[in-house]
Structure 1
Amino acid sequence: MTLSDGLLAIAREAVAEGSSLFRDLSPQTISTKSDDRDFVTDLDFRIQTRLRDFLRRKTPAFGFLGEEEDHHVVTDGYLWILDPIDGTSNFIHHIPMCAISLGLVRDGRPIIGVIAAPFLGLEYWATADGGAYANGKRLAASKTTTLRRSIISIGDYATGAGSGVKNQRRFAVTTALAASVERVRMLGSAAIDLAWVAEGRLDGCVLLSNNPWDTAAGVLIARESGAVVTDSDGSDHTITSSHTIAATAAISGELLSILSSAD
């Protein structure tokens, strides 16, 4: 077994343990985070604590970054990055579009990615240069070649301080996409957005944010399926990028041009 295989096995075991909590338990408390429409449940913390402790036992020399604790991004060495429930608002409202997202980065570059959507019965994983898979089947990004035949998802609108300014751009992007693509979708989970680009259910996604816990796993899975993942200025996507744009290779350039015109 290679190092990559061993680390993937650890990641999949961790996510499977989190998925069992996800499916079997209901949240007992719901509280607000940075603003009055950004929520977290006790189950977010419970899953994060369980997976953090598991990963520290298995890989004690690796760092750990979870959404529900200190957000210091380490760009040297190995770092596990976890979102215990991506799509918490969906989860609270019993919408099944929510997921656990676990990525492992080395020196700032994703090398392992695992995403599970327990209520949809889906598990995605990828290793750097090893391909991307869903429930054991090799993934390939969409072969759609034109925007007018493309389904493009967009990330959630902003809430909290500064949301008015942030949403001006999001509204402009939504308007530009609505005039150019077959359909626009908002799923409410960045991890699922990226996984579905990898699976070819979506032809692209536009996430005008880049929290590492939301994207570390999904970016690798999308790339390993053949999708192109960049920042909105077309530069190579990293965990410190401003935005996350993923699309099939044939439409990536045109999609980036639309985003530029929306500015």
Structure 2
Amino acid sequence: MADERALSGYAQAAQAAVDEAREIFLAELGAAPALFKGPGDFATAADLAIEKLLRTRLKAETGVTVYGEEQGGNLDPRACWVVDPIDGTSNYSSGNPNCAILVALLLDGQPAAAVVDAPLLGMRLTAVEGGPVALNGETLPPLGATSAAAPQVGMGSLASLDRRRFPSSVRLALAGALAEEGLRPRISGSVGVDLAFVAQGIYRAAVSFSPHVWDNAAGVLLGRCAGATVTAGDGSAWAPGKVGAIVGTPDAHGAVLRILRGAEEERG
């Protein structure tokens, strides 16, 4: 793992690249689909342009390769940037503010630096391994120092590309069971925003159904640095290649995992 000084340099390079990317993000807000990837899944010209910019800037400034949602690449867990140019593209295309630029540096198979920038929410969170989470440059207190007014749990989206691991019946059962236990489910359409809300203490927990490292890596690091309990969707240690992520305070994380396991057992 890189030392603190090196991680700080990587984080600064990521923030500088995201500074440029957010200009495209804001200028192209509401962009129509430009590339259809599957049923209900598309990219806009802004997704493509932002990822191209991030690839160029991050590689030039750090020498580390980039793996992205739109243009792929080589996912080298030893050292690799992982980027989602617009997490919540459907929201972005319709002007919904729940969308963000996600950048994470993987070192030795785990996220070591991350930037989550949600321009329409005025929210940028940054973290490096072993340090605190910062919101717009200001250090946040660890989770537990403050609590949300209501125990909300983010679910990102009820859709999942992994319909075998998280079929609609399991996702809907989770939403219903959370509500019954007083943990109010919230569906934003953006995993990155949900996990960022957990790191700020806005949500007690968030669950990602995504099998993609670019959706989960940045939020996983934010959660760890905030003092949250962090696992993959099945409760095992999170790592690239694992499906989903659960991030939250110990009690909320435990409730989400228990409900998920119960729903899966009922499904057989």
CA separation of 1:246/1:26 partners in 2, compared to 1, >3 Å: closer, same or farther? closer
Aligned to 2:234: 233
User: Which piece of structure 1 moves more, 180-189 or 84-93?
Assistant: 180-189
- Give SS of 2:175's match: helix
- Give SS of 1:34's match: strand
Written as runs of structure 1 = structure 2, the 5 A alignment for 1:72-221 is 72-75=74-77, 77-140=78-141, 142-143=143-144, 150-158=151-159, 166-221=167-222
- Amino acid across the alignment from 1:36: P
CA separation of 1:71/1:173 partners in 2, compared to 1, >3 Å: closer, same or farther? farther
CA separation of 1:248/1:164 partners in 2, compared to 1, >3 Å: closer, same or farther? closer
TM-score by length of 1: 0.90
Deviation at 1:259, TM superposition (A): 1.5
Q: Which has the higher contact order (CA 8 A, sep 6+)?
A: 1
Which of 67, 70, 78 matches 2:69?
A: 67
TM-score by length of 2: 0.89
Aligned to 2:14: 11
Q: Is the 8 A contact 1:27 1:41 kept in 2?
A: no
Which consecutive aligned stretches of 4+ in structure 1 deviate over 6 angstroms post-superposition? none
The answer to whether the aligner puts 1:42 opposite 2:52 as a matched pair is no
Deviation at 1:196, TM superposition (A): 0.6
Deviation at 1:235, TM superposition (A): 1.4
Deviation at 1:209, TM superposition (A): 2.0
- Amino acid across the alignment from 2:88: G
Unmatched segments (≥5 aa) in structure 2? none
Q: 1:165, 1:232 → 2: CA distance?
A: 9
CA separation of 1:159/1:71 partners in 2, compared to 1, >3 Å: closer, same or farther? farther
Give aligned-pair identity as a percent.
34
Unmatched segments (≥5 aa) in structure 1? none
Q: 1:194, 1:181 → 2: CA distance?
A: 20
- Amino acid across the alignment from 1:210: P
Deviation at 1:67, TM superposition (A): 0.5
Aligned to 1:56: 59
Deviation at 1:82, TM superposition (A): 0.4
User: Which piece of structure 1 moves more, 33-42 or 112-121?
Assistant: 33-42
Aligned to 1:31: 34
The answer to whether the aligner puts 1:21 opposite 2:21 as a matched pair is no
- Residues 48-71 of structure 1 show CA distances to partners (whole Å, capped at 9, x for unaligned) of 1011011111122x1210100126
CA separation of 1:27/1:153 partners in 2, compared to 1, >3 Å: closer, same or farther? closer
Deviation at 1:142, TM superposition (A): 4.3
- Give SS of 2:67's match: strand
Alignment RMSD (CA, Å): 2.6
- Amino acid across the alignment from 1:70: G
Deviation at 1:25, TM superposition (A): 3.0
Q: 1:212, 1:138 → 2: CA distance?
A: 26
Aligned to 1:243: 244
- Amino acid across the alignment from 1:74: D
- Amino acid across the alignment from 2:92: F
- Residues 100-132 of structure 1 show CA distances to partners (whole Å, capped at 9, x for unaligned) of 000000121100000101111111000000111
